[in-house]
Structure 1
Amino acid sequence: MVKVKNLRIVTLLLLIASFVLVSGCVQRQYDISRSETPAPLFKNIAPREAHALMQDNQDNPGFIIIDVRTPQEFGAGYIEGAVNIDYYSETFKDQLDRLDKNKAYLVYCRTGRRSGIALGMAKDLGFKEVYNLSGGIVEWEAEGLPIADSGN
């Protein structure tokens, strides 16, 4: 009877020790993962939020604005500082893939459809932070936000 009781105590102590060891390992793994880079961010944002984001990053070389409309659309007016990469170009995905995936991007088009698709592509290509301007430049203009003129 004493041996059975001692065996139960030893078994219980082993179970407790195992639990403590395992929970310590799990905690350490969790702590390590928290110190790694932040989770990627892909978000649709309204024109006013996009404008505020641009203002906050106006001197940040790690923040890029991409207009995915055609060169003709771009020539009719664009958001100041935007780089034009034509969504309809045969090399669009390759051009996107060549960009620095660690920078932050604001992508827009005319109404948000093409830039929304580009947002998904960027996610698939491993980008870290991409914002899509909901409603595109049409909504941007409707909000009275500034448009640059190419001078054409």
Structure 2
Amino acid sequence: MNLAQEQWWQQYQDDSNAIILDVRTEEEVEESSIPNSINIDIYKGQGFLDEVSNLDKNKNYYIYCKSGGRSNQACLLMEQLGFENTYNLLGGITEWTGPINE
């Protein structure tokens, strides 16, 4: 599900079962990231699928990338793997105005 950043962040904060997933490259993550996020690079291809498959499917995943494209793709892939609750951050970290690790 695609969510605008205010809704994405508010829903994450109200969700005791939430995990933030950053699907960018390690280089991008080193520049800046949203606090408490875990990083699995979608460009790893099968490696991404393997790592994501090990995640708890009962959690709710709030997913972001640079602009919202890769994270949308990650949501679709995760849904195919049986994850029921994935939320894509529209606009990605590029448009993010919330807390940030630099």
Q: Give TM class, smaller chain.
A: over 0.9
Counterpart in the other structure of 2:81: 125
CA distance in 1, matches of 2:13, 2:57: 21
Residue in structure 1 matching 2:40, options 85, 89, 95 = 85
Greater percentage in strand: 2
Runs of 4 or more above 3 Å deviation: none
Greater percentage in helix: 1
Counterpart in the other structure of 1:139: 95
Larger Rg: 1
Tell me how far 1:46 sits from its aligned partner: 0.5
In structure 1, the gaps of 5 or more residues are: 1-42
Deviations 1:27-47 (A, max 9, x none): xxxxxxxxxxxxxxxx10011
The 3-state SS of whatever aligns with 2:67 is: coil
The 3-state SS of whatever aligns with 2:43 is: coil
CA distance in 2, matches of 1:103, 1:145: 22
Alignment of 1:95-134 (within 5 A): 95-134=51-90
1:51 lines up with 2:44 in the alignment: no
Identity %, equivalent residues: 43
Number of residue pairs the alignment of both structures matches: 101
The 3-state SS of whatever aligns with 2:87 is: strand
Tell me how far 1:54 sits from its aligned partner: 2.3
Aligned alpha-carbon RMSD (Å):
1.1
Which structure has more RCO (C-alpha within 8 Å, separation ≥ 6)? 2
The TM-score, its normalising length taken from structure 2, stands at 0.93
